[in-house]
Amino acid sequence: MRQIRAALICAVAAISLLVSPGTAQAGIEDASDGAGFGVRVGFSGDGAPSGGGSTVVRMPASCWWTPINYMGFQQDNPSSWVEWYDTVVRELRDHAHAAIAYFQMGPRSMYEAAAASPNANALDLYGIDCRDDATYCSGILMSYAGTPQVYDPGGCPVPVTHRFFAGATPQPLVDPEDLAQVARDYMAIPDPVAERNPKLDIAGGSTLVSLPTWFWVTNPDAVGAATGGTRTIRAQAGPVWAEVVAQTSGLSISSPAGGTSCPPDRAVRVYAPGADDSTGCTVAFEAASVRYADGYPVDLSTSWSATWTGSGGTGGVLPGLSRTVTTNVPVAESQALVYSYR
């Protein structure tokens, strides 16, 4: 994990002063253990869980606010804050990157106002930390800090990365690709539920060998029938968004005695007397299911590819999804004698 206060850290290290991040605020856990942060994510689209809404999701963060805990800063002693600021600035004055570190800390007036505030005892000083290769000149950091440009050393603006908060801080900033993965994992794709014809009452609900058995999905969302085989979910966390589109080619049916694949429009076509078998999703089982007490195990499956687009012109391909339901289909053999008359 790389701290955004890199310039300050480097300068402090040069004068052999210890810099260490604080403990994360209540309800937000450090991402360094791989557990991630609690981030509120809003979901929408036909693939949104429970039809849409928001929930707190544990996920990685790109940047987050961490309580300041270095160079003896005393969160519970407002009268010491201005003196602490002056001490840090004085120590940095003769070292490289001091100007960058100074502007990251914010103006002296910010500390004066916080210390003089009637609400001072409820205030805590936080600094922004970021993972990966985020630096003080990152556009993402500028957006997250939400502060105006205060210093520009040759085209790289430095935002204020220190701020006083009373109570909860802004929620962590997430990466669009991480948010896309969350959206994929939360996408609601129902298991396919199917009906079939024939079901012969005299044979325990069996179908017959070599007779086209017509299957149809009774929950069209399971194959995206209304949207050309797609399901879509959009996830939003603060200013960051990602949209995932899952695409299926339809329903796959497999069993020890035969199978087929059908596009979404055929997979939901209900059997009707006199209908042409070629217009439905049919399987002609090759043999009776005498070796299977409950009938052939028949897998009804959908496979979905997944792509995503996100804020900042991002996008790509995600691992696919699949859903499989197994049902038992007894298959009987009808014996008949064929006579030839001359």
How do residues 173-213 score in pLDDT, each as one tens digit? 999 999 999 999 999 999 999 999 999 987 678 999 999 99
Given the DSSP bridges, would you call strands 331-332 and 207-208 parallel, antiparallel or unpaired?
A: parallel
Q: Measured between alpha carbons, how far is 262 from 260 in angstroms, rounded to an integer?
A: 7
Into how many domains does the chain fold?
Answer: 2
The domain containing residue 103 runs over which residues?
Answer: 2-174
161 and 140 part of one domain: yes
**pLDDT digits (tens), the chain, 342 positions:** 344 344 444 443 333 222 223 333 333 444 444 568 999 999 999 999 999 999 999 999 999 999 998 889 999 999 999 999 999 988 877 676 677 777 888 999 999 999 999 999 999 999 998 887 666 677 778 888 888 878 777 777 888 999 999 988 999 999 999 999 999 999 999 999 999 999 998 767 899 999 999 999 999 999 999 999 999 999 999 999 999 999 999 999 999 999 999 999 999 999 999 999 999 999 999 999 999 999 999 999 999 999 999 999 999 999 999 999 999 999 998 765 444 445
Asked whether residue 338 is domain-assigned, the answer is: no
**Torsion, CA 22, CA 28, CA 31, CA 34, rounded to 10:** 140
52 and 161 both lie in a single domain? yes
- Among 114, 147, 174, give the residue marking a domain's end: 174
- What pLDDT is recorded for position 221? 96
Q: Which long-range contacts (CB under 8 A, 24 or more apart) does 317-322 make?
A: 318/180, 318/181, 318/184, 318/244, 319/184, 320/246, 321/184, 321/187, 321/189, 321/246
Kindly state whether residue 89 falls inside one of the protein's structural domains.
yes
Residue where a domain terminates, one of 174, 208, 232 = 174
| Same domain, residue pair 197 and 120 | no
- Does residue 337 sit within a domain? no
Q: Full-prediction pTM beyond 0.85?
A: no
36 and 158 both lie in a single domain: yes
